[in-house]
Structure 1
Amino acid sequence: MEIVWWQVLLITLYAAFAIYDGNNTTMGFVKPTMAGFFAGLILGDMQTGLIVGGTLNLLVLGVGNFGGASIPDYMTGALIGTAFAIFSGEGAEFGISLAIPIGLLMVQLDVLARFTNTYFQNRAETFIKQGNLDKAARMGLWGLLPTSLSRMIPVFLALVFGARFVESIVNYMPDWLMSGLSVAGGMLPALGIAILLRYLPVKENIPYLIIGFVVAAYLSMSVLGAALVGLALAILGYQRFTKNNDNNDPAVANGGMGDE
């Protein structure tokens, strides 16, 4: 598959908008699932994009860049991984295996972007001290530039020069390596769920975990079906909780005549 200029432009601009959204508007476009979907939509294979993005999304469940910390950028990884998966024709597993090291590499570029941004912030502080609020506000806008370029440049270069490069890599990859990448790609969802479970009250919710496991493993139910079962259990739990609270309320227990 040959990529055309408008596809490169749209995906590159999406990288800039998504990282802005992640730091400001937080509408969800920075999520790997959205990035994979968008790249797949532009390149004509939404299914591959959703698989790549959705799998990478499992790796960042419960992970956030609080306090300005840099975390793996699987949004950029999803864009490039989806493109490479479609270019090579090797499927989502191949794109996922490439997206992970890309996301880890982006940590270094994120640190560089944040370091560069300190120049604009220092200038803004200087203008504030001088009482020039308009120029200080413009420095805030200029501060978006390093972060945006840190995503746009890698995506642009990968899309322009990466297609033939990836095809050449795939042609020389041995079968055992491709099989290993497929196995690794299949393990990633379990790894993401395991990381998330470390931060959840698992001991108090063992029955629900068992029900979810039975539904998925023995009943072969789809994700939507399992989600609906979980929703039903949540509603039952909420109804039981509110009923117990009502029974413990003296006014309710006395037929609404608590004052008398």
Structure 2
Amino acid sequence: MQIQLWQIIFLGLLGGVAQWDETNMKLGFRNPVITGLIVGLVMGDVKTGLLVGGTLQLMTLGIGSYGGATIPDYATATIIAGALAISTGQGIDFAIGIGVPTALLLVQLDVLARMSNVFFQHKAEKYADERKYEKIELMNILGLSTWMISRFVPIFICLYFGEGLVQKLLQLSPEWLMGGLKVAGGVLPALGVALLLKYLPVKSYAPYLIIGFFLVAYLNVPMFGVALAGFAVALYQFKKAQSKEVISTSGAAVYTGGADEDE
């Protein structure tokens, strides 16, 4: 399947919009599963798009850009890997093999975009001192545009030149580097889950964690089934907490009434 020019442009713009969304509206376009769905719709294979996006989404768990830290860009990687996997018919393994190193290589472009943004922010500070507020807005828009371009350009180049360019880059990369990236790709989902468990109240809900592990490890229950069980438990806990709150409020009301009568 040959990728059409309009598809390349659309997916390139999707990468730019996803980066813009990350710093503004927070609508979720930076989530690989969302970009994977859109890639699947554009390329005509929603199943593969969701598989690629969902797999790379696992690698984002527990990873956050705190304090301006640069992290692997799995959303853009999903666009590139998903489109190439669908167009070549290579499947999910091929997509993940491209997606993980692509996400890590995009870190360097993110750093470059941030560095170029410094110029516009210094200009904005200058215009703030001069009370030129319209130019401050312009500098902020131009600063954001460098981030959007840093996503549009690699997506356009990779999809325009196709699988050959990506494969050539992979072949030129040292074996130790590619091996390390593959190992990292396998470790990252587990690391993401471990980081989440560290900040969640695991001790208070340890029995539910053990039940979930038992369902997956010994009964081979699909993840969707485990998710439904988890949702049911969460809903039960929520209703239980609500009922306690209602009882507490009712008790306070009765006590207050008695005090009024005594008066």
Superposition TM-score, scaled by structure 1 size:
0.84
- Equivalence for 1:97: 97
1:173-188 alignment runs, 5 A limit? none
Alignment of 1:88-237 (within 5 A): 88-165=88-165, 189-237=189-237
State how far apart, in whole Å, the 1-side matches of 2:118 and 2:167 are. 40
Question: Number of matched residues?
Answer: 252
1:252, distance to aligned residue in structure 2 (A): 5.5
In structure 2, list runs of 5 or more residues that go unmatched.
171-180
RMSD (Å) for aligned C-alpha atoms? 3.0
The alpha-carbon deviation at position 187 of structure 1 amounts to 6.7
Q: CA deviation at 1:189?
A: 4.2
Q: Deviations 1:105-144 (Å, cap 9, x if unpaired)?
A: 1111111101101111111111111121111111111112
- Please report how far the alpha carbon of residue 162 of structure 1 lies from its aligned counterpart in structure 2 after TM superposition: 2.5
Q: How much does 1:190 deviate?
A: 4.0
- Write the distance in 2 (CA, Å) between the matches of 1:65 and 1:128: 27
Contact 2:158 2:166 in 1 (8 A): no
Name the aligned partner's letter for residue 44 of structure 1.
G
1:216-257 per-position Cα deviation (integer Å, ceiling 9, x unaligned): 344443433322221221122233334445566682696885
Question: Hey, what does 1:66 align to over in structure 2?
Answer: 66
Unpaired runs of 5+ in structure 1? 171-180
Q: TM-score normalized by structure 2? A: 0.83
Match of 1:28 in 2: 28
Q: Is the 8 A contact 1:82 1:95 kept in 2?
A: yes
Q: How far is the alpha carbon of 1:74 from its aligned partner? A: 0.6
Taking structure 1 as reference, are residues 88 and 185 closer, same or farther at Cα in structure 2, changes over 3 Å only? farther
TM-aligned CA distance change 1:59 to 1:210, over 3 Å: same
Shift of 1:52: 1.1
Cα pair 2:79 2:155 within 8 Å, conserved: yes
Q: Is the 8 A contact 1:84 1:163 kept in 2?
A: yes
Quick check: 2:70–2:111 contact (8 Å CA) kept in 1?
yes
Aligned partner of 1:62: which letter?
Answer: G
Q: CA deviation at 1:169?
A: 9.1
